[in-house]
Structure 1
Amino acid sequence: MDKKLTDLGTVKGKMLLFGGVYSNLQALEELIRIADKQGIPPENCICTGDIVGYCAQPEEVVQTFKKWGARSILGNVEIQLRDGAEDCGCDFREGSRCDGFSQLWFPYAQSKLSKSSLDYIASLPDHITFNYAGNQVGILHGSYFNVSEFIYKSTNWEVKAPNFSKLNADIIVGGHCGLPFQHLENEKYWLNPGVIGMPANDGEPHVWYMTFNDDGLFKYNHHTLKYNYKLTSSLMQNGLLPEEYARTIITGIWDNTEILPAYESGLQGFGIVL
């Protein structure tokens, strides 16, 4: 299927960027409250994909997101849901723990989503581009070439560089890997705001998002988001979803680090410094 790209032209004012809602309604509701409090309009709020995921309220999340009016691109989960696939398309190693967990949460999400939600998901673009404070920005999920590719801070710049050419971008905002980071090289920025649906393996129950500010020069900041994670975890303990993910919501520690490179794996539980 041909890629769908939405170009927003020039965007002005404060922006809010985030990834992976992962069916976490409590985190999404708190993020919406923050955007409202800070006067950030919905059209300046952009998700890097995977609105649906590991948590217990996929239908409520999609409908809340749709009503809010924020923007999003397709994550691998949305593509698989749109196409009626049998798995999440996360590119987990077959037989791994994450692969086993996906055989629980993905069918659960499929079973909960209404036609209205699936139609909304199908309407999302693969990429969003816009000009901000004199910089061309491109939003992608994994990479331009593979929506399920895991790109981390430690990923070689040679892997990242071709994505800038494809999106004609000075700044790329990526998703999928679940960890916030910033990587500046050759006057290009690769930024990942992190995700709001799951902790970042840092030993804290809070989650992560990012803001852009165009006061004179381009500025960006990473932020933590505190929300009612105890409710999220309790709703996940329904006998249908992985108990390990419900525990991660509380502890901030991933059940395993099998998808992580050595550098990121070694940071488990040590907090995140940006």
Structure 2
Amino acid sequence: MDKKIEHIDSVTGKVLLFGGVYSNLQALEALKVVAGKEGIPPENCLCTGDIVGYCAQPEETVQLFKLWGAKSIVGNVEIQLREGAEDCGCDFREGSRCDSFSQLWYPYAQSKLSKSSLSFIGELPDHITFTYAGKKVMVAHGSYSNVSEFIYKSTPWNIKAPHFKNSGSDVIIAGHCGLPFKHERGNKLWLNPGVIGMPANDGSPQVWYCIIDDSDGTFTYNHYNLDYNYRLTSKLMQNGLLPQEYARTIITGIWDNTEILPAVESGLQGFGIQL
């Protein structure tokens, strides 16, 4: 199937980058407030996909996203939902803990979404491209070639490099792996803003986003923590239908397991994010 790519000629001013809302309504509400305080218009707020996921309010989250008017590409979850698939398409190893957890949260999300929400996510593009401070930028979920590919900071550059060539990009903004990072080589930048729906396995309930800025004529970027009502999010997840391990992670900031992580990122569990 051909990719659906939304091309924007150019973007100026601050841009708010985030990913993995994961049905976390409280985090999305808090991020919307940040955008307002920073003076960032909805069209300059970009999500790397997976608006829907582990938390308890998928329908409310999608509807708020629509009302806000922010932009998003599809994550693997949106692709699976719009196609009526039976699993989340996260590329978890079959039989793993993450795979077993997905057999709870994915059908829960599937059962809660209205036709209106499914129609909305069905229209999301695979990628968004734009020019910013003279650089060609491409927004992806996992990678340019594979929506479910896990790319981390420790992922070798020779794996990242073809995605710049194939997409014709100077900057790739991507999500999926759940951890914020930056990786520069020459004039190329791979930038993961982090996700707002779940902590980054760093021992803090705060979540992560990024703001890029062209006010000085160059491409600058900074990652930030987001405070939100995580206790309410966790409480709503304790409904007997969702994995309680994820409800605990919302509070503790520690993942239940690190089975999807490379050795480097696994070893940093609870030690904070190294940016």
TM-score using structure 1 length: 0.99
Number of the residue aligned with 2:45 = 45
Give the counterpart letter for 1:12 in structure 2: T
Number of the residue aligned with 1:32 = 32
Aligned mates of 2:168, 2:44 — CA distance in 1:
21
Give the counterpart letter for 1:107 in structure 2: P
Count of residues paired in the alignment: 274
Q: Secondary structure at the match of 1:223?
A: strand
Number of the residue aligned with 2:160 = 160
Give the counterpart letter for 1:51 in structure 2: I
The reply on whether 1:184 has 2:187 as its aligned counterpart is no
Number of the residue aligned with 1:232 = 233
Q: Secondary structure at the match of 1:210?
A: strand
Q: Secondary structure at the match of 1:137?
A: strand
Number of the residue aligned with 2:149 = 149
Aligned mates of 1:57, 1:88 — CA distance in 2:
17
Aligned mates of 2:219, 2:8 — CA distance in 1:
17
C-alpha contact (below 8 Å) 1:74/1:141 kept by paired residues: yes
Unpaired runs of 5+ in structure 2?
none
The reply on whether 1:223 has 2:255 as its aligned counterpart is no
Shift of 1:160: 0.6
Number of the residue aligned with 1:269 = 270
Shift of 1:226: 0.5
Number of the residue aligned with 1:255 = 256
Aligned mates of 2:139, 2:249 — CA distance in 1:
27
Q: Secondary structure at the match of 1:109?
A: helix
Give the counterpart letter for 1:265 in structure 2: S
Number of the residue aligned with 2:242 = 241
C-alpha contact (below 8 Å) 1:253/1:268 kept by paired residues: yes
C-alpha contact (below 8 Å) 1:143/1:163 kept by paired residues: yes
Shift of 1:90: 0.2
Shift of 1:109: 0.1
Structure 2 counterparts to residues 1-274 of structure 1, below 5 A? 1-215=1-215, 216-274=217-275
TM-score using structure 2 length: 0.99
Give the counterpart letter for 2:168 in structure 1: N
Aligned mates of 1:145, 1:272 — CA distance in 2:
27
Q: Secondary structure at the match of 2:130?
A: strand
Give the counterpart letter for 1:183 in structure 2: H
C-alpha contact (below 8 Å) 1:129/1:167 kept by paired residues: no
Q: How big is the alpha-carbon RMSD for the aligned residues of Structure 1 and Structure 2?
A: 0.5
Aligned mates of 2:134, 2:145 — CA distance in 1:
26
Give the counterpart letter for 1:94 in structure 2: E
Aligned mates of 1:181, 1:223 — CA distance in 2:
11
Unpaired runs of 5+ in structure 1?
none
Return structure 1 stretches of 4+ with deviation > 4 angstroms: none
Q: Secondary structure at the match of 1:86?
A: coil
Aligned mates of 2:154, 2:190 — CA distance in 1:
12
Shift of 1:217: 1.2
Aligned mates of 1:273, 1:179 — CA distance in 2:
10
Aligned mates of 1:249, 1:267 — CA distance in 2:
18
Give the counterpart letter for 1:70 in structure 2: A
Shift of 1:166: 2.1
Shift of 1:145: 1.4
Percent pairwise identity: 75
Aligned mates of 1:154, 1:38 — CA distance in 2:
32
Shift of 1:106: 0.1
Q: Secondary structure at the match of 1:245?
A: helix
Shift of 1:144: 1.4
Shift of 1:273: 2.6
What are the superposed Cα offsets for residues 44-89 of structure 1, whole Å, 9 maximum, x if unpaired?
0000000000000000000000010000000000000010000000
